[in-house]
Amino acid sequence: MLFASRSFCCLGIRTYQQRTDLLSRSIKISASATMAFRHKNTRRIEGLDSNVWVEFTKVAADPSIVNLGQGLPDISPPSYVKEELAKAAAVDRLNQYTRGFGHLSLVKALSQVYERVCGRKIDPLTDILVTVGAYGSLFSTIQALIEEGDEVIIIEPFYDCYEPMVKMAGAKPVFIPLRYKNDGNSPSSADWVLDSAELANKFNSKTKAIILNTPHNPIGKVFTREELQVIADLCIKHDTLCISDEVYEWLVYKGKKHIKIATLPGMWERTITIGSAGKTYSVTGWKLGWSIGPENLIKHLQVVHQNTLYTCSTPLQEALAQAFWIDYKRMDDPDCYFYSLSRELESKRDRMAQLLQESGLKPVIPDGGYFMIVDVSTLNVDLSDVDEKQPYDYKFVKWMITSKKLSAIPLSAFCGPETKRQFEKYIRFCFIKKDSTLDAAEVILKNWNKQTA
Amino acid sequence: MLRRAGPSLRHFLLERKSSAGYSSYTSEAKMSRPLQARRLEGIDKNIWVEFVKLAATYATVNLGQGFPDFPPPDFLKEAFVRALSGENHMLHQYTRAFGHPPLVKILAQFFGKLLGRDLDPMTNVMVTVGAYQALFCCFQAFVDEGDEKAPKDGKLMSSADWQLDPAELASKFSERTKAIVLNSPNNPLGKVFSQGELELIADLCEKHDILCISDEVYEWLVYDGKEHIRIASLRGMWDRTVMIGSAGKTFSATGWKVGWTVGPNRLLQHLRTVHQNSAYHCATIAQEAVAQGFQREIELYGKPDSYFVQLPKELQQKRDWLVQSLDAVGMKPIIPEGTYFLVADISEFKSDVPEVPDSDEPYDYRFAKWMVKNKGLAAIPLSAFYCGAHKNNYNHFIRFCFAKEEATLKAANDILQKWKREKTSP
């Protein structure tokens, strides 16, 4: 098979000299198919191969399915963002390598925007690193600052990559769940809180960092100043780092304010704040993110970055820089995309909540972000005959995709092993979707109600 | 910016340094505990940071950095614009994590033909953020602490004459050897490994049952009728080789940062694990445009209009131009068989930069720095590409990049001519 397949001429190229040489070499039966390959993967990635997205994006790829699963906008990015990319790509030198730690015009734009937001000086060259998405920032931060044997506190439910990234660094994830503290009828993300005593107990001398995500995915919680202060106090007391994932920072709804933990006293020097172009400008496919923090921390992230992928895409960074300048200049104007997007999403949030409520469900109304979780146990869908050893919500979502043509993400994907039971009745919907998608979801939910009535 | 890290990533012997812990942190830090992870030890220095800054400050002619100063081909730029301006705004959103389907399909088709086997785009190809990230995934996936990677230092002479000593190479393999990293065509020398040389390596890989990480980013840049041979196509090698390619080098668009790995599923599955836990997705639009670029090339393969025919032709001329320039002034170029780099022996110019006994810095580093500051011509010292133990054996060579417009190469020639005149005038 090997030799026959090499004797091709269909491309019209010169046939390889090696064919004759190969034949003249002593021919062993190709041992490759049968040899016991002694090389397996490294220890550092052992057990990190499965991934909820790989599983569910495949399942939901069918275009006939209404996809409210993966956090992927199907609305268009603003036109000026697309135009800036076209302009950037037309400049020859912007198609070649740029500065490794971040394209100059981009880090300058980021420093301006965030100086204004944080109320402190941010050096574009030393206090910022541009990465491949916020994902890349999380990776660089964890690889740079987390040592084998360290403990890292992760708040559940958590964006699923935190756990494997911490494990890949040889550290131990220590979980603490948000707990629902309200008996009222309209649950809100604000009702999900950390127990302060429980949190304090999780800190010890091995604790290197806590990962904070605000606004929170999947619940949509926007941590209040008081809540952040509790976390800050513990970080200072135990001299730990804070890795603050703030990708949804602009998506906060009426009455709520996003507060950066790095702006609390004593926190700048121990916090890495992570942001995302994908979430800021509805361009998840641009895969640009950034880490902002003090030089003595960022320099270590830069070392990781220069040894992993070195530099990010030039034209995308240039376009993003230009988009930031446009919005920076109108940060006092309600038309600034940072505010207009969140207004647009608030009405989608309200519509999504209404659809779910009309189906008899109790969605948890998020104060921020573009996800909404809902307890589906009240629908009493019996899946005990489904053989798979997966939590209820995994089975439910797979069933919902096949039988209702609607997709979501199971919440237990975002939990550590101890709390899966607690969260397996919840699923997560994404509502950064165009009207026609939400219309289609409405049809499904209305019909569902009829069938189960 | 160059895709190379400091030499540490290219160190062929991974030794775990024992660390007694840190006490180094700046006075601004209010955190009192050690901050950075031990895995960063010794890899913070980076030659490019230093030399790129020097070039930016002093260079009038920059032949240091390894990227073209001419644009990507029109068809590629047009593909990018089409992707942007099309109806499908979903190209601004996430695509498949392991590679945009149109791109992995065409890569599987293209490399399948070249390797003479059926490739499954979903399992035998993975897209990465440049070939750089492909290399990172390979090392993270396959090289544990304590493993060794076999080295490929060469002996003196010209590109084809720089060879591995078979006995010496064989002696580097041990029980702990996990992989060999092969780079052909080779940066910085420009060597294109021959059939026989690759078979030598293949035999050792098979004998010791090790992996081959094959960095082939310059695969299309071969000159003088030479042929790039893919080690994965040699007997017994497909199952143990990860082949790495780069859109940046293939299509002269280094700023796009699109690379790929091709190999058997049982190896690629581990690369996917690293990828999904580090970068996860690669930018969609660039992948879409690269896919279209390959579509064009697969149709034109072997024909005169093929970019893969035209680019090496153009670069060969530039190579010859630069070789002539250097030779004329007494820098002895090693004529490269491939890539867009060449290395020149600067021994005759040593009088300009005196030796400093007991200097920490290799001679060629000092020479290159002096040259950019005093002559405005940037190049990279060759010893940067060697491990610590070998640096002093190769400290009288510097590397030039010739993927530059004619005007740039002419300007370089002017500098060199003037320099020579100054040396010989009374």
Residue B87 pLDDT exceeds 90? no
CB contact (8 A) between residue B301 and residue A11: yes
Distance from CA of B7 to the nearest CA of A (A): 10
- A4 by DSSP, 3-state: which? helix
**What's the predicted TM-score (pTM) here?**
0.89
Residue A451 pLDDT exceeds 80? no
Distance from CA of B423 to the nearest CA of A (A): 35
Q: What angle do CA A264, A267, A272 make, to 5 degrees?
A: 115
Phi, psi of B359 (to 5 degrees): -75, 145
Determine which of B9, B25, B31 to mutate to test the interface with A (most A C-beta atoms within 10 Å).
Answer: B31
Average the pLDDT over each of A19-28, A39-48, A135-144, B275-284 and give the range with the smallest value. Answer: A19-28
Report CA A244 to chain centroid distance, whole Å.
12
Give pLDDT, residue B3: 39
CB contact (8 A) between residue A310 and residue B92: no
Cα atoms in the 13 Å half-sphere on the side-chain side of B308: 21
Distance from CA of B205 to the nearest CA of A (A): 12
CA–CA gap between residue A53 and residue A413 (Å, rounded): 9
B284 interaction partners in chain A (CB closer than 8 Å): 285-286
A174 beta partners: A153
CA–CA gap between residue B330 and residue B327 (Å, rounded): 5
B74 interaction partners in chain A (CB closer than 8 Å): none
Output B311 or B53, whichever has higher pLDDT: B311
Q: Mean pLDDT of all residues in chain A?
A: 88
Alpha helices in A330-428 (DSSP H): 337-358, 392-404, 420-423
Q: Is the peptide bond before A187 cis (omega within 30 degrees of 0)?
A: no
Give pLDDT, residue A158: 97
Distance from CA of B247 to the nearest CA of A (A): 11
Nearest to A218 by CA among A419, A370, A393: A370
Let me know: does A355 contact A433? Beta carbons within 8 Å.
Answer: no
Distance from CA of B422 to the nearest CA of A (A): 34
CB contact (8 A) between residue B3 and residue A282: no
CA pseudo-torsion sign A96, A98, A102, A105: negative
Distance from CA of A40 to the nearest CA of B (A): 7
CATH architecture group of domain A50-75+336-447 = Alpha-Beta Complex (3.90)
CB contact (8 A) between residue A86 and residue B84: yes
- CATH assignment, A79-329: 3.40.640.10
Give the confidence band of A185 by pLDDT, cuts at 50, 70, 90: low
What is the longest distance spanned by two Cα atoms in chain B?
69
Nearest chain B residue (CA) to A30: B236
Report CA A228 to chain centroid distance, whole Å.
21
Residue of A17, A97, A146 with shortest CB distance to B254: A97
A306 interaction partners in chain B (CB closer than 8 Å): 5-6, 46, 49
Residue with token string 């309209």: A186
Interface A-B: count of C-beta contacts within 8 A:
293
Let me know: does A429 contact A68? Beta carbons within 8 Å.
Answer: yes
A273 beta partners: A244, A292
Nearest chain A residue (CA) to B35: A145
B238 interaction partners in chain A (CB closer than 8 Å): 32
| CATH of region B45-71+307-421, choose from 3.40.50.980, 1.10.150.450, 3.30.750.24, 3.90.1150.10 | 3.90.1150.10
A295 interaction partners in chain B (CB closer than 8 Å): 26, 28
Nearest chain A residue (CA) to B208: A38
Nearest to B361 by CA among B377, B346, B381: B381
Report CA B110 to chain centroid distance, whole Å.
22
Pairing of strands A207-213, A151-156: parallel
Give pLDDT, residue B353: 87
CB contact (8 A) between residue B240 and residue A32: yes
Give pLDDT, residue B158: 67
Q: What percent of chain A has pLDDT over 90?
A: 74
CB contact (8 A) between residue A161 and residue B280: yes
CB contact (8 A) between residue A18 and residue B94: no
The residue ranges of every structural domain in chain A are 50-75+336-447, 79-329
CB contact (8 A) between residue A89 and residue B9: no
The pLDDT tens digits of the residues spanning B201-241 come to 999 999 999 999 999 999 999 999 999 999 999 999 999 99
Distance from CA of A187 to the nearest CA of B (A): 31
Average the pLDDT over each of A50-54, A165-169, B326-330, B397-401 and give the range with the smallest value. Answer: A50-54
Beta strands in B316-404 (DSSP E): 332-334, 341-345, 377-378, 380-381, 397-401
Residue of B33, B129, B240 with shortest CB distance to A132: B129
Categorise residue B146: left if φ over 0, alpha if ψ from -120 to 50, beta otherwise: left
Give the confidence band of A54 by pLDDT, cuts at 50, 70, 90: confident
Cα atoms in the 13 Å half-sphere on the side-chain side of A214: 28
The pLDDT tens digits of the residues spanning B30-69 come to 677 778 888 888 888 888 878 888 888 898 999 998 999 9
CA–CA gap between residue A392 and residue A298 (Å, rounded): 41
Beta strands in A143-301 (DSSP E): 151-156, 172-177, 179-180, 192-193, 207-213, 241-245, 271-276, 289-292
